[in-house]
Amino acid sequence: MAKVDNVEIVGRVSANGRVVIPKDIRDLLNIEDGDFVRLVITEVIKVPKSAKTGSNNKKKR
């Protein structure tokens, strides 16, 4: 297990519970498909329901 300095990102949780680690961060930390990462949740930022209905959150067809 490789230890790294703390890297902080804010990610959005998808409907199926996934959080994306941005590609530039994955590249920086050499995270590859199938690797395990340790997540430490320090804060949950709730999005107001009115913001969840915005155009950026519509499903693509």
Whole-angstrom distance, CA of residue 31 vs CA of residue 39: 13
d(CA 23, CA 31): 9
> Phi, psi at residue 26, to the nearest 5°?
-60, -45
| 3 state SS of 13 | strand
For 19, the 3-state DSSP assignment is strand
Tell the residue number behind the tokens 């199938």, with chain if given.
34
Average pLDDT estimate for 3-12: 87
Q: Report all structural domains of the chain as residue ranges with CATH numbers, in order of start.
A: 1-56 (2.10.260)
For the segment 34-46, what is each residue's pLDDT rounded down to a tens digit?
A: 999 999 999 999 9
pTM of the model: 0.66
Q: State the pLDDT confidence band at 55, using cuts at 50, 70 and 90.
A: low
